[in-house]
Structure 1
Amino acid sequence: MKLIVERQNLYSCLQKIRPFIGKKTTMPILSHILLEARENELIMMATDLELAFKGSCPAEVFAPGQLPVPGKTLYDFVRTLEYEKIELKENESHWLEIIGGNSYLCLATLPPDEFPTFPEIEHFHLISFPSELFRKAIMKTYFSMAKEDVDTNLAGLCLEKQKDKLCFVSTDTYRLSYMEIPYTDLDLLQFDKSIMLPRKAVLEILRLCSTGMLQIGFDNSAGVIKTDGYIFYFRLKENKFPEYHSIIPKKSEYEAKIPKRILKDILKRTSVLITDKFKVADFLFYRDRLIVKAENPAVGKIEENLDIEFSGDKLKMAFNISFLLDILNVMDSEEFIFGLNTERTPCIITGKNDIGFKALIMPVIERE
């Protein structure tokens, strides 16, 4: 194998592939990137057996070939180079020599046949989807996914078919976020009613999606996302997302219209008192104002108020400050509707400019 590649093109591809390189693994080959030189391009592959990534960049290829090389070492070396062109070549010992200007690195490699085969994707019916729309739907919902070490069954994002729309849903049992986008060709997606994308795959989709069009495909066990520059494959979670439709309130006993920016600023100031033990603020709703109060005995206390419109006379509830901020941070509306019920019933948040979006948040039950 021998080729010359532009440093920026190589580095850009390595940036995308880096998260897929196995870090804590008992299989040394998974900490490697498979480099393949053919025709006029350099193809790079990495996998942790749950996720797989294939990217490519233009190259001047003098001799084709394949070599698995230590991924992190290659990335760290290329990142520090300042030369426009880099030469990669396999020596007689089957090590990879990397030459950039006056810099030289020789990396030990592993046999190419030890590297896992990239999953077959030919059976997927790939459909074109606007990248910005797909990313927006995930951005509106990913924040309420559970963490793997807290609840592995909820550590992901549900993708669900409903009539003429595609729905994105996640929950950690304390809050739930939901986003629907119009889509009529649901039969082209090769899964049954719903699937669950693993948390790690969701975060990588957010990182990889930018502009233009994506090609996406799903069956009941895996998903694939493809653009001109890369292919991302991931296995789906085996468990099903819990039934959630029945917990979404059909109507609210009270409603408050609240200016988003002002409340966000108040919550950010209130969060200076937050610790692992103290995460909650009291919300006192009146007809024309909202009072937000929080206290941390070890740090101090805070009280702020703002003008609102409230359909009731007086109501007191408590909410997790960080959870509420997460919701407001993904909303586009300048004013949002806070649908309130009892302290044991989810409250619902919507906004005029957040079409298809709703979020649920559970009040914190105060200890007597």
Structure 2
Amino acid sequence: MIFITKKSQIAESLQNASAIAERRQTIPILANIKIKTNKDQVVITATDLEVQLQTTIPKISVEEEGEITVSARKMSELCRSLPENENLKFELLNGKLHVSSSNFIADFATLSANDFPELEVNYEGGSLSASSGLIKRLLTKTSFSMASQDVRYYLNGLLLEFTKEGVKAVATDGHRLSVANSKKLDYKGEDLKYILPRKAVLELAKILSSDDEIVEILFSDSHITIKKTNLIFSSKLIDGKFPDYEKVFPRGKESSLIVDKTILQSALSRSSVLSNEKYRGVRFTLSINNLKLTANNPEQEMAEEEVDVMFSGGPLEIGFNIGYLLDVLNVIETDKVEMLFYGEESSCLLREPESTTETYVIMPMRL
């Protein structure tokens, strides 16, 4: 195997593959990426047996075809550290992958590509098409609410719902809920619900572009695959029943608060410095057109700040986790944010004013 490429052609593919490759090295070859050459292209594959990424790099000068596996982390880090327009020559010599540039030479240990496992995927459920930017937006707007190591394994992922009305992404860790939906999807099939694993969601959100490039989504009962130009991303699905998130939305008489997003973000960041490091709580005290934030900790330290808001409801005191509030504010794009309160014991609903495209629910905490 011999091929020549520029760093700029291969670096991003190596970095994306490195993020997919298994880090715990329970099976040594899963820490590797497979590099395969044919005709004028290089195909790079990485998998941890749950998620798999295959990237094709076209217009490569291939002198000799072949395939081999090398360390994903080492290859990615090496390539990233080289100058941008550096020409790289990859050559398989005596069982090692020889990489050379104008002033640099490296030999990488290899494992046979014949031993490299790949996901076995079948697609019995059908397919649909959507813009890359649409899927990326839905994932980015909700993924922060996923659980990470919850015993309720179905919470360690994100629910995708496809209906004739559009597509919806839902994530919850039991303390907060994020829902994003879009009607910009022409889907005429039966209603579908799939739970994507946490790692698949986070990597897809990084890999997908924000433009209108059309991607193809293929699915079965156990796998989902997203195909775009020169890229195939596959993942196992979480086999479980996602909770009925509609029941989480608070009901009853609501009191609306509208506040400048940047001002609230800054005030919460200051309050977090003196909040309890374990629970990170902040108390909201609401009165007509006024919000008082109070945070304290076991060291008897305290922070208090008043913020001008638009609020005409009755007096209210309620506590929240500062981190949960900041996570929501970080994905809201408007200058203002609306918070709907339903009483001191009920969850709070956050959204962009006069918009229902994305909705966030945060449970209160006792302080």
Structure 2 counterpart of 1:324, one-letter code: L
Q: Deviations over 1:206-254 (max 9, x none)?
A: 1112233133233321111222132111111111211111221344432
TM-score (norm 1): 0.91
Q: Which residue of 2 aligns with 1:209?
A: 208
| Contact 1:158/1:195, CA 8 A, preserved across alignment | yes
Superposed displacement of residue 123, structure 1: 5.8
Secondary structure of the structure 2 residue equivalent to 1:79: helix
Q: Which residue of 2 aligns with 1:165?
A: 166
Superposed displacement of residue 85, structure 1: 1.3
Asked if 1:36 is matched to 2:36, the reply is yes
| Contact 1:332/1:354, CA 8 A, preserved across alignment | no
C-alpha spacing 1:249/1:275, structure 2 compared with 1 (3 Å):
closer
Superposed displacement of residue 104, structure 1: 1.9
| Contact 1:338/1:349, CA 8 A, preserved across alignment | yes
Structure 1 counterpart of 2:42, one-letter code: L
Q: Which residue of 1 aligns with 2:235?
A: 234
CA distance, structure 2, for counterparts of residue 318 and residue 266 of structure 1: 15
Tell me the matched-pair count.
Answer: 363
Superposed displacement of residue 115, structure 1: 0.7
Structure 1 counterpart of 2:45, one-letter code: M
Structure 2 counterpart of 1:36, one-letter code: K
| Contact 2:36/2:42, CA 8 A, preserved across alignment | yes
Q: Which residue of 2 aligns with 1:194?
A: 193
Secondary structure of the structure 2 residue equivalent to 1:358: strand
CA distance, structure 2, for counterparts of residue 154 and residue 319 of structure 1: 21
| Contact 1:156/1:197, CA 8 A, preserved across alignment | yes
CA distance, structure 2, for counterparts of residue 128 and residue 138 of structure 1: 16
TM-score (norm 2): 0.91
Secondary structure of the structure 2 residue equivalent to 1:365: coil
Q: Which residue of 2 aligns with 1:87?
A: 89
C-alpha spacing 1:224/1:252, structure 2 compared with 1 (3 Å):
farther
With 171-180 and 307-316 compared, the bigger mean Cα shift is at 307-316
CA distance, structure 2, for counterparts of residue 122 and residue 365 of structure 1: 47
1:243-262 aligned within 5 A: 243-262=244-263
Q: What are the ranges of 5 or more consecutive residues in structure 1 without an aligned counterpart?
A: none
CA distance, structure 2, for counterparts of residue 53 and residue 124 of structure 1: 21
Asked if 1:314 is matched to 2:282, the reply is no
| Contact 1:343/1:364, CA 8 A, preserved across alignment | no
| Contact 1:333/1:353, CA 8 A, preserved across alignment | no
Superposed displacement of residue 162, structure 1: 4.1
CA distance, structure 2, for counterparts of residue 49 and residue 76 of structure 1: 23
With 62-71 and 208-217 compared, the bigger mean Cα shift is at 208-217
| Contact 2:50/2:119, CA 8 A, preserved across alignment | no
Structure 2 counterpart of 1:195, one-letter code: Y
| Contact 1:170/1:178, CA 8 A, preserved across alignment | yes
1:346-361 aligned within 5 A: 346-352=347-353, 354-361=355-362
CA distance, structure 2, for counterparts of residue 241 and residue 177 of structure 1: 14
C-alpha spacing 1:48/1:163, structure 2 compared with 1 (3 Å):
same
C-alpha spacing 1:299/1:206, structure 2 compared with 1 (3 Å):
farther
C-alpha spacing 1:252/1:231, structure 2 compared with 1 (3 Å):
farther
Superposed displacement of residue 183, structure 1: 4.6
Q: Deviations over 1:304-352 (max 9, x none)?
A: 1122232323111111111111111111232232211233322211223
Q: Which residue of 1 aligns with 2:339?
A: 338
Asked if 1:9 is matched to 2:9, the reply is yes
Q: Which residue of 2 aligns with 1:279?
A: 280
CA distance, structure 2, for counterparts of residue 209 and residue 184 of structure 1: 17
C-alpha spacing 1:77/1:193, structure 2 compared with 1 (3 Å):
closer
Q: Which residue of 2 aligns with 1:70?
A: 71
Q: Deviations over 1:55-99 (max 9, x none)?
A: 1223111111111122222223323333621111222x3322212
CA distance, structure 2, for counterparts of residue 239 and residue 122 of structure 1: 19
With 280-289 and 108-117 compared, the bigger mean Cα shift is at 108-117
Q: Percent identity?
A: 30
CA distance, structure 2, for counterparts of residue 97 and residue 123 of structure 1: 42
Q: Which residue of 2 aligns with 1:135?
A: 136
